[in-house]
Amino acid sequence: MSTTTGYDEANLGSRSDGVTVTVPEGDGQQKGPRLTSEEVWHAIAKASFAVLSHDTPTGEPRSSGVVYTTVGRRLYVAVAPDSWKAKHIAANGRVSVTVTVRRGGVISLVVPIPPATISFQGAAVVHHAGSPMVRSIAKELAPLLPKERQATSSIIEIVPDGAFVTYGIGVSLMKMRDPAAARARVPVS
Protein backbone atom coordinates (compact mmCIF):
# COMPACT_ATOMS: atom_id res chain seq x y z
CA MET A 1 0.00 0.00 0.00
CA SER A 2 1.14 3.50 -0.68
CA THR A 3 -0.18 6.67 0.85
CA THR A 4 -1.00 9.87 -0.98
CA THR A 5 -1.64 13.22 0.59
CA GLY A 6 -3.39 16.12 -1.03
CA TYR A 7 -6.22 16.75 -3.41
CA ASP A 8 -4.48 16.37 -6.78
CA GLU A 9 -2.61 13.20 -5.87
CA ALA A 10 -5.64 11.47 -4.33
CA ASN A 11 -8.22 12.64 -6.90
CA LEU A 12 -10.88 13.15 -4.24
CA GLY A 13 -13.26 15.41 -6.11
CA SER A 14 -13.05 18.40 -3.78
CA ARG A 15 -10.03 20.18 -2.38
CA SER A 16 -9.16 19.30 1.20
CA ASP A 17 -5.68 19.94 2.60
CA GLY A 18 -4.04 17.23 4.63
CA VAL A 19 -6.30 14.39 3.50
CA THR A 20 -4.52 11.05 3.50
CA VAL A 21 -5.80 8.26 1.27
CA THR A 22 -4.54 4.69 1.09
CA VAL A 23 -4.14 3.43 -2.46
CA PRO A 24 -3.86 -0.33 -3.06
CA GLU A 25 -0.79 -1.59 -4.86
CA GLY A 26 0.33 -4.99 -6.00
CA ASP A 27 -0.82 -7.62 -8.41
CA GLY A 28 -4.54 -6.91 -8.08
CA GLN A 29 -5.21 -10.34 -6.57
CA GLN A 30 -8.08 -10.53 -4.11
CA LYS A 31 -6.76 -11.08 -0.61
CA GLY A 32 -10.09 -10.85 1.21
CA PRO A 33 -12.84 -13.40 1.60
CA ARG A 34 -14.45 -15.05 -1.40
CA LEU A 35 -18.04 -13.98 -0.97
CA THR A 36 -21.06 -14.42 -3.18
CA SER A 37 -23.77 -11.80 -3.61
CA GLU A 38 -26.18 -14.32 -2.01
CA GLU A 39 -24.07 -14.38 1.18
CA VAL A 40 -24.00 -10.58 1.31
CA TRP A 41 -27.76 -10.32 0.71
CA HIS A 42 -28.28 -12.84 3.53
CA ALA A 43 -26.25 -10.66 5.91
CA ILE A 44 -28.21 -7.55 4.84
CA ALA A 45 -31.53 -9.34 5.39
CA LYS A 46 -30.48 -10.46 8.90
CA ALA A 47 -29.50 -6.92 9.95
CA SER A 48 -31.93 -4.03 10.40
CA PHE A 49 -29.82 -0.90 11.00
CA ALA A 50 -27.95 1.13 8.39
CA VAL A 51 -26.50 4.56 7.79
CA LEU A 52 -28.27 6.18 4.85
CA SER A 53 -26.38 8.94 3.05
CA HIS A 54 -27.57 11.36 0.39
CA ASP A 55 -26.88 14.82 -0.99
CA THR A 56 -28.99 17.88 -0.38
CA PRO A 57 -30.24 19.79 -3.44
CA THR A 58 -27.23 22.12 -2.97
CA GLY A 59 -24.80 19.17 -3.01
CA GLU A 60 -24.05 18.97 0.73
CA PRO A 61 -23.66 15.43 2.08
CA ARG A 62 -26.03 14.19 4.77
CA SER A 63 -26.36 10.89 6.60
CA SER A 64 -28.53 9.41 9.30
CA GLY A 65 -29.16 6.10 10.97
CA VAL A 66 -32.25 4.24 9.79
CA VAL A 67 -34.06 1.01 10.49
CA TYR A 68 -34.88 -0.95 7.35
CA THR A 69 -36.39 -4.16 6.12
CA THR A 70 -35.69 -6.12 2.97
CA VAL A 71 -38.21 -7.50 0.52
CA GLY A 72 -36.55 -9.42 -2.27
CA ARG A 73 -33.43 -7.54 -3.30
CA ARG A 74 -34.62 -4.13 -2.14
CA LEU A 75 -34.38 -2.23 1.11
CA TYR A 76 -37.25 -0.20 2.53
CA VAL A 77 -36.99 2.63 5.05
CA ALA A 78 -39.95 4.42 6.63
CA VAL A 79 -39.65 8.20 7.03
CA ALA A 80 -41.88 11.14 7.84
CA PRO A 81 -43.30 12.60 4.60
CA ASP A 82 -41.98 16.06 5.46
CA SER A 83 -38.51 14.86 6.57
CA TRP A 84 -35.25 16.02 5.02
CA LYS A 85 -34.58 12.46 3.88
CA ALA A 86 -37.88 12.27 2.00
CA LYS A 87 -37.38 15.66 0.35
CA HIS A 88 -33.70 15.33 -0.55
CA ILE A 89 -33.82 11.74 -1.75
CA ALA A 90 -36.90 12.44 -3.89
CA ALA A 91 -35.00 15.30 -5.55
CA ASN A 92 -31.82 13.31 -6.27
CA GLY A 93 -32.76 9.63 -6.41
CA ARG A 94 -29.31 8.36 -5.38
CA VAL A 95 -28.14 7.14 -1.98
CA SER A 96 -25.25 5.42 -0.31
CA VAL A 97 -25.92 2.88 2.42
CA THR A 98 -23.70 1.25 5.04
CA VAL A 99 -25.22 -1.69 6.88
CA THR A 100 -23.60 -2.56 10.19
CA VAL A 101 -23.39 -6.26 11.05
CA ARG A 102 -22.80 -7.04 14.69
CA ARG A 103 -19.99 -9.53 15.27
CA GLY A 104 -18.50 -11.22 18.30
CA GLY A 105 -21.54 -12.41 20.25
CA VAL A 106 -21.00 -12.36 24.02
CA ILE A 107 -17.29 -11.57 23.67
CA SER A 108 -18.19 -8.19 22.12
CA LEU A 109 -19.62 -7.18 25.52
CA VAL A 110 -16.12 -7.46 27.01
CA VAL A 111 -13.78 -6.70 24.12
CA PRO A 112 -14.43 -3.73 21.80
CA ILE A 113 -15.14 -5.41 18.47
CA PRO A 114 -16.26 -3.09 15.68
CA PRO A 115 -19.18 -4.22 13.55
CA ALA A 116 -18.61 -5.64 10.11
CA THR A 117 -19.97 -3.44 7.33
CA ILE A 118 -21.58 -3.71 3.92
CA SER A 119 -21.59 -0.52 1.86
CA PHE A 120 -23.21 0.15 -1.49
CA GLN A 121 -24.80 2.77 -3.69
CA GLY A 122 -28.25 2.59 -5.12
CA ALA A 123 -31.23 4.16 -6.75
CA ALA A 124 -33.89 5.39 -4.33
CA VAL A 125 -37.54 6.27 -4.81
CA VAL A 126 -39.75 7.90 -2.20
CA HIS A 127 -43.25 6.40 -2.16
CA HIS A 128 -45.99 8.27 -0.33
CA ALA A 129 -48.29 6.55 2.14
CA GLY A 130 -51.16 4.81 0.42
CA SER A 131 -49.37 4.47 -2.92
CA PRO A 132 -49.95 1.17 -4.77
CA MET A 133 -46.36 0.04 -4.08
CA VAL A 134 -46.66 0.71 -0.34
CA ARG A 135 -50.03 -1.07 -0.18
CA SER A 136 -48.60 -4.10 -2.03
CA ILE A 137 -45.93 -4.72 0.63
CA ALA A 138 -47.73 -3.26 3.68
CA LYS A 139 -47.46 -6.53 5.63
CA GLU A 140 -43.66 -6.64 5.27
CA LEU A 141 -43.38 -2.94 6.20
CA ALA A 142 -45.49 -3.22 9.37
CA PRO A 143 -42.53 -3.92 11.72
CA LEU A 144 -40.89 -0.62 10.64
CA LEU A 145 -43.69 1.57 11.97
CA PRO A 146 -45.93 1.97 14.97
CA LYS A 147 -49.55 1.37 13.97
CA GLU A 148 -50.44 5.08 14.28
CA ARG A 149 -47.79 6.06 11.67
CA GLN A 150 -48.47 3.33 9.11
CA ALA A 151 -51.07 5.38 7.24
CA THR A 152 -48.96 8.56 7.01
CA SER A 153 -45.30 7.58 6.56
CA SER A 154 -43.43 7.72 3.29
CA ILE A 155 -41.36 4.71 2.30
CA ILE A 156 -37.94 4.96 0.65
CA GLU A 157 -37.31 2.04 -1.69
CA ILE A 158 -33.60 1.41 -2.28
CA VAL A 159 -32.34 -0.76 -5.13
CA PRO A 160 -28.60 -1.45 -4.73
CA ASP A 161 -26.47 -1.34 -7.85
CA GLY A 162 -22.84 -1.85 -8.78
CA ALA A 163 -20.96 -3.69 -6.05
CA PHE A 164 -21.13 -4.35 -2.33
CA VAL A 165 -17.99 -3.27 -0.49
CA THR A 166 -17.68 -5.38 2.64
CA TYR A 167 -15.47 -5.41 5.69
CA GLY A 168 -15.47 -8.35 8.08
CA ILE A 169 -18.17 -10.36 6.31
CA GLY A 170 -17.24 -14.02 5.85
CA VAL A 171 -14.03 -13.83 7.91
CA SER A 172 -13.11 -14.72 11.48
CA LEU A 173 -12.86 -12.02 14.14
CA MET A 174 -9.07 -12.41 14.12
CA LYS A 175 -8.94 -11.77 10.35
CA MET A 176 -10.91 -8.55 10.86
CA ARG A 177 -7.66 -7.15 12.28
CA ASP A 178 -6.07 -7.45 8.82
CA PRO A 179 -7.73 -5.00 6.39
CA ALA A 180 -6.50 -6.83 3.29
CA ALA A 181 -8.00 -10.11 4.53
CA ALA A 182 -11.24 -8.57 5.83
CA ARG A 183 -12.48 -6.54 2.89
CA ALA A 184 -14.12 -7.68 -0.31
CA ARG A 185 -15.94 -6.30 -3.32
CA VAL A 186 -18.90 -8.36 -4.54
CA PRO A 187 -21.25 -7.63 -7.45
CA VAL A 188 -24.77 -6.76 -6.26
CA SER A 189 -26.54 -9.18 -8.63
What would the CATH number be for the domain defined by 31-187? 2.30.110.10
Span 123-181, pLDDT tens digits: 999 999 889 998 888 888 888 888 888 888 999 999 999 999 999 999 998 888 899 99
Confidence band of 32 (pLDDT split at 50, 70, 90): confident
Q: Could you give the CA distance from residue 116 to residue 102 in angstroms, rounded to a whole number?
A: 6
- Determine contact, residues 152/144, Cβ cutoff 8 Å: no
CB 119 within 8 A of CB 165: yes
Return the amino acid letter for 32: G
State residue 146's pLDDT score.
Answer: 81
Whole-angstrom distance, CA of residue 17 vs CA of residue 155: 39
Residue-by-residue DSSP string for 131-146? -HHHHHTHHHHGGGS-
Question: pLDDT confidence of 118, banded at 50, 70, 90?
Answer: very high
Of 21-35, 84-98, 163-177, the poorest mean pLDDT is in: 21-35
Residues 49-86: tens digit of each pLDDT: 999 999 999 999 999 999 999 999 999 999 999 999 99
- What residue spans define the domains of the chain? 1-30, 31-187
What gap in Å lies between CA 181 and CA 175, rounded to an integer? 6
Residue 176's Cβ-side half-sphere holds a number of Cα atoms within 13 Å equal to 18
